[in-house]
A = this chain, B = another copy of it.
Amino acid sequence: MLKIATIGSHSALQILKGAKDEGFSTILISTQKQAKIYTELFPIADEVITLDSYTNFFDVEDYLISQEAVIVPHGSFVAYLDQAKHDLMRVKYFGNKDILKWESSRQKQMQWLQQAGLYLPKIFTDYREVDCPVIVKLYGAGGGQGYFVVTCKEQLEQEVAKRQLDLSQVLIQEYILGCPVYIHYFYSSILNRLEILSLDRRYETNVDGLGRLNHQTQAILQPEPSFVVIGNSPLVIRESLLADLYDMGQRVVAVSKEICPPRGLYGPFCLETIVTPDQKFYVIEISARIVAGTNLFIQGSPYAELLFSEPMSTGRRIARELKLALAANRLEEVV
């Protein structure tokens, strides 16, 4: 019998709980610092393996293989174990590793989304062409660290000088004024259907606390916004907009099969959007795997409730997909 394994961070609790609810045994690999989350606070994994550092991941790979473990990757997993390490990995892995190349390069990501016909903010490869407010994102920065907003090219130049930034290491993206909406999809290659399981918006410090200062106080304090993700809060979307969301997801999956043939993107993914007053969804990023906003829905969500007769988190949905694949004798299509 397969076991489900992941590393201790991001959405591991949800993945472990979902696996358990679907009848799988679980293995959690953690650093010493984080281990108590999984051994003391929420001791739900069947086995916890601690490492000094994730660079030692390969020390346990043979053991994982011997246990018939399937790795369920999440945002921290791909942050700690890069493309090169993914290429070396021999243990079973839920999801298409090739898609990582398309996700980890901002250019390729934008090409993918563009080909899918989605609304995208402008990307400035040459900062001198900036002609609108932009948000500057550091490559590889985890959770919004170091992001900043400027209103024009001149302010951008000042900030780049002040922060001593290497412009080749940043993404300069048109700042879209609107409301953030993160859409949690699941594409089941076994059932050949696209699901929308839930929605969230991020909770970012200090930018989500700024509005609590009035104009007079801000004029004195001149607060600098920052975009460090510390959590998430739940949303539902206007029902008539679900048709757009479904289209967007379908096109992303369809194009993924062209760029990463034959399997393309399957399992959970997320379109991170800003919705403008004309109800357009500008996609600022795609995550080609489970996102942390799904942690809100460990007990299920309003949308998942429509599809399943049980509380179905994204973590559980992954385990369910593995179960469906096993039952259909099609496991090799998803791992």
Residues of A within 8 A of B (CB): 9-14, 17, 33-34, 36-37, 40-42, 44, 76, 133, 143, 149, 151-152, 177-181, 193-196, 199, 201, 203-226, 228-243, 246, 274-279, 292, 295-303, 305-307, 311
Question: Cα distance A205–B306 when bound, in Å?
Answer: 26
Question: Cα distance A296–B198 when bound, in Å?
Answer: 11
Question: What residues of chain B lie closer than 8 Å to A306, measured between beta carbons?
Answer: 13, 17, 42, 44, 298
Question: What residues of chain B lie closer than 8 Å to A234, measured between beta carbons?
Answer: 233-234, 296
Question: What residues of chain B lie closer than 8 Å to A215, measured between beta carbons?
Answer: 215, 218-219, 222-223
Minimum distance in angstroms from A72 CB to a CB of chain B: 14
Question: Cα distance A17–B305 when bound, in Å?
Answer: 9
Question: Cα distance A41–B237 when bound, in Å?
Answer: 14
Residue of B nearest to A74 (CB): B239
Question: Cα distance A182–B214 when bound, in Å?
Answer: 23
Assess whether B209 is in contact with A274, with CB atoms less than 8 Å apart.
yes
Q: A133-B221, A217-B133, A236-B231 are in contact. Are A246 and B41 (CB under 8 A)?
A: yes
Question: Cα distance A296–B230 when bound, in Å?
Answer: 20
Assess whether A207 is in contact with B212, with CB atoms less than 8 Å apart.
yes
Other than the known A212-B225, A230-B237, what 18 A-B pairs have Cβ atoms closer than 8 Å? A13-B239, A34-B240, A36-B246, A41-B194, A41-B195, A42-B307, A133-B217, A143-B238, A177-B210, A177-B223, A179-B206, A230-B241, A230-B279, A231-B237, A232-B236, A236-B295, A236-B296, A299-B311
Minimum distance in angstroms from A74 CB to a CB of chain B: 9
Question: What residues of chain B lie closer than 8 Å to A44, measured between beta carbons?
Answer: 306
Q: Could you list some 28 contacts between A and B, CB below 8 A? A: A9-B239, A10-B239, A34-B240, A36-B243, A37-B246, A41-B195, A41-B196, A151-B217, A151-B220, A177-B206, A178-B205, A178-B209, A179-B204, A179-B205, A179-B206, A211-B211, A212-B225, A214-B218, A214-B225, A215-B222, A231-B237, A233-B234, A234-B234, A239-B292, A298-B303, A299-B299, A299-B302, A299-B311
Assess whether B33 is in contact with A243, with CB atoms less than 8 Å apart.
yes
Assess whether B10 is in contact with A275, with CB atoms less than 8 Å apart.
no
Residue of B nearest to A276 (CB): B205
Which of B37, B208, B217, B276 is within 8 Å of A149, CB to CB? B217
Residue of B nearest to A143 (CB): B238
Question: What residues of chain B lie closer than 8 Å to A279, measured between beta carbons?
Answer: 205, 228, 230
Question: Cα distance A24–B143 when bound, in Å?
Answer: 45
Assess whether A277 is in contact with B206, with CB atoms less than 8 Å apart.
yes
Question: Cα distance A275–B207 when bound, in Å?
Answer: 11
Question: Cα distance A295–B218 when bound, in Å?
Answer: 33
Which of B76, B211, B238 is within 8 Å of A231, CB to CB? B238
Residue of B nearest to A216 (CB): B222
Question: What residues of chain B lie closer than 8 Å to A235, measured between beta carbons?
Answer: 203, 231-233
What 3 A-B pairs come out closest when comparing CB atoms?
A: A211-B211, A215-B218, A298-B302
